[in-house]
Structure 1
Amino acid sequence: MKSRTTTALIGAVAVAALAGCSSTSGAPAADGAFEPQDVRMIVPFSAGGGSDASGRAIASGLETASGATVTVENREGGSGAVGYSHLFAQEGNPNYLLASETTLLSLPLTTEVDYNYESFTPIMKLGDDYTLVVVPADSPFETCTDVVDAAKSDGVVVAVSGAISLDEIVFSLIEQDQDVTFDRVPYESGSEVIAGLLGGTVQVGSLNPGEVLGQLESGDLRALCSLSEERYEYEQIAEVPTAIEQGIDVAFAQWRGFIAPGGISDEARDYWIAAAEEYAASEEYTTYIEENLMQPNAIYGDEFVEYLGQNSADLEAALAE
């Protein structure tokens, strides 16, 4: 699935929307402009994983762009459902945000929840984050084909960070493509998956490059393949072959971004979009994207909503196969 690339520019409207905003006053000012107060950035997974890193980067970037104070809250549980449910309960409150990713779409497709992406106010998609299939340094597996062959004979235990996470999706796609079945152990974050791999609880994991780069560089873990259309251009993982090169026709990206509750005012929505556009033009954004080896495909507002609709349809089709 390929994502459209939109260059983040700050226009006069964005600058005007941010002008005069303060982090100390209550919701709408006397002139109708939104002024944030006690902003909360919910991360629906535990500390240490890719979603946590994303939430903290966005919070810091929005603080710089807007002057508002943004406090990060980890509300893990239910494979992300606890955090999303908390945001859903904040209907109309523009001082709550959530560091979102593909779980926003996969949860409603696979779980009994009271919301879907249309229940919220999408603000910004930061970019796309593919995964690497990784194993401990002493694993007998040398390629992703080795993993598939072992699953056909002896069985393979894989880790997934959330029962309906990107990891679950890509392993399901591999199962469909190769006619195999994996045994799964669910975790609540990428950091827990890494601990499971290093501790020998699981044999194989699927992790975003930014989550696992330290362990790859130290030699504690090895990457067998990337689940992307093409090899990464980032020097650290440029030599990792794609699963497609190894005869496994699977490539699926996780997007990362942030959303607000449903029912907020147009002024509040425009405020956060303007702040997001300013963040995307900053060195902070570039640093986050590059340090986490992501693809910088930023889009906002209505374009983000359109993207979510198409991505949800693609995901539903993939899960139904």
Structure 2
Amino acid sequence: MGVLLAGSLALTACGASSSSGSTEGGAYKPGGNVTMTVPFGAGGGSDLSGRAIAAGLEKITGVNISTENKEGGSGAVGYAAFLAKAGKADQLLATETAMLALPLTQDVPFTYEDFTPIMKLGDDFTLLTVSPDSPYETCTDVVNAAKDGRVVAAVSGATSLDQIVFSLIEKETGVEFDRVPYESGNEVVAGLLGGQVDVISVNPGEVLGQLEAGTLKPLCAIAENRYEFDSLKDIPTAAEQGIDVAFAQFRGFIAPGNITDEEKQFWIDAAKEFEQTDEYAAYIEDNLMQANAVYGDDFKEYLTGNAEDLAKVLGE
């Protein structure tokens, strides 16, 4: 299923770590302040994620964790700077699907295997959505219409989540959508409501108000399971309608490569405590995400599969 990105992830000790910290019986704790890098600008989803994680970990560990936005190159600048932090366990980064998409689409000096996965907080899936007066009632209706004629879909960029979703549906079902590119999610929704396109794929958190008001009609969730939120629980998954496609933007955090096992375990243990807090639950609920938390090597396994799915769409 796709290609495996090159590189090697160093999760074990390779000599003394370059980050400072106390050790009592082999245990690690940062000896000073910790920095959480956000590879995007302030105010976006990655920024909200990074600040929520930093605040939660700070409360649990008692270590001061500051958040630093390092934007540019669709995330490439922040990830490249983080690559240079190898061996420093007092550095963290709020990560998402861009970490996997960038090496497939740009000449960047890193892959996900250069870093140490700590925690995936959850998944931000999308809804296939149409206007209220659309004749389509299910995602199967959309696919059948694309088999018989022209269905126009909006996308917000060549490496965007909606582009990936429509491409995966095409590969699964053998149909082809006509695409109209837009600059942002807001423009995508406007294009649908203005009649320029027939269908869109959007994160529910972006359009919850329109869904509740009935100005958008959801057909299915491109998700592994139905949402548990009251406002979304009645929306079937694509798989329930015979379309075996699920893809999400994940949210999580990583440490640099070449940290020790003890340093890695310290952050995994803190992350597991964070998952049990009200702050974690509030972050997931406020952003209408699915709380599929995984840690360490399990997070790495998830990234491998996710990268392979992306390679089918974005890779050569």
Q: TM-score range by the shorter chain?
A: 0.7 to 0.9
Q: How many angstroms does 1:237 deviate by?
A: 0.8
Q: 1:127-276 counterparts in 2 under 5 A?
A: 127-135=122-130, 142-145=137-140, 147-148=142-143, 149=145, 153-160=149-156, 162-176=157-171, 177-185=173-181, 187=183, 192-198=184-190, 200=194, 203=197, 204-276=199-271
Question: Once the two structures are aligned, what percentage of the paired residues are identical?
Answer: 52
Q: TM-score, normalised by structure 2?
A: 0.76
- 1:33 & 1:233 partners in 2: Cα distance? 37
Deviations 1:60-102 (A, max 9, x none): 2112212333343444444433332232233334343222223
Evaluate the alpha carbon distance shift between residue 225 and residue 79 of structure 1 in structure 2; reply closer, same or farther with a 3 A threshold.
farther
User: Which amino acid in structure 2 is aligned with residue 254 of structure 1?
Assistant: Q
Distance in 1 (alpha carbons) for counterparts of 2:98 and 2:147:
26
Superposition TM-score, scaled by structure 1 size: 0.75
Q: Where do residues 1-321 of structure 1 align in structure 2 (5 Å cutoff)?
A: 27-29=19-21, 31=23, 33-44=29-40, 47-49=43-45, 51-135=46-130, 142-145=137-140, 147-148=142-143, 149=145, 153-160=149-156, 162-176=157-171, 177-185=173-181, 187=183, 192-198=184-190, 200=194, 203=197, 204-316=199-311
User: Cα 1:300–1:248, aligned 2, differ >3 Å: closer, same or farther?
Assistant: closer
Check the 8 A contact 1:87/1:98 in 2, yes or no. yes
Distance in 1 of aligned mates of 2:31 and 2:185: 40
Deviations 1:117-139 (A, max 9, x none): 11111111122332112345566
CA contact (8 A) 1:194 1:212 kept: no
Instruction: Compare 115-124 and 204-213 and name the one that shifted more.
Output: 204-213
Q: Is the 8 A contact 2:221 2:237 kept in 1?
A: yes
Bigger Cα displacement from structure 2, 303-312 vs 269-278:
303-312
| Matched residue SS, 1:163 | coil
Return the letter of the residue paired with 1:179.
V
Q: Which amino acid aligns with 1:209?
A: P
Q: 1:215 to 1:75 in 2, by over 3 A?
A: farther
1:98 partner SS: strand
Distance in 2 of aligned mates of 1:139 and 1:71: 47
Query: Are the counterparts in 2 of residues 33 and 267 from structure 1 also a CA contact under 8 Å?
Result: no
In 1, the alpha carbon distance for the partners of 2:112 and 2:58 equals 25
> Counterpart amino acid of 1:197?
V
Specify the code of the residue in structure 2 equivalent to 1:193. Answer: G
The 10-residue stretch of structure 1 (235-244 or 215-224) with the greater mean CA deviation from structure 2: 215-224
Q: Structure 1 residues 54 and 40, CA, compared in 2 at 3 Å: closer, same or farther?
A: closer
Relative to 1, partners in 2 of residues 1:266 and 1:217: Cα closer, same or farther, differing over 3 Å?
same
Look up the SS of the partner of 1:297 in the other structure. Answer: coil
CA contact (8 A) 1:42 1:96 kept: no
Q: Provide the rounded CA distance (Å) in 1 between the counterparts of 2:67 and 2:214.
A: 32
Distance in 2 (alpha carbons) for counterparts of 1:116 and 1:99: 15
Q: Residues of 2 paired with 1:52 and 1:105: CA distance? A: 18
Residues matched between the structures, number: 291
SS for the counterpart of 1:213 is helix
CA contact (8 A) 1:37 1:68 kept: yes
Tell me, yes or no, if the aligned pair for 1:122 and 1:305 is still in contact at 8 Å.
yes
Cα deviation per residue 1:229-276 (whole Å; 9 max; x = unaligned)? 443332111222322344433222333211122233444433322221
Alpha-carbon distance change, 154 to 304 in structure 1, aligned in 2, over 3 angstroms:
closer
> What is the alpha-carbon distance in structure 1 between the residues aligned to residue 130 and residue 41 of structure 2?
23
- Structure 1 unaligned segments of length 5 or more: list them: 2-25
2:87 alignment partner, SS class: coil
User: Counterpart of 1:235 in 2: which secondary structure?
Assistant: coil
Q: Which runs of 5 or more structure 2 residues have no equivalent in the other structure?
A: 2-17
In structure 2, distance between residues paired with 1:87 and 1:202: 41
Aligned in 2, Cα 1:57/1:272: closer, same or farther, shift over 3 Å?
Answer: same
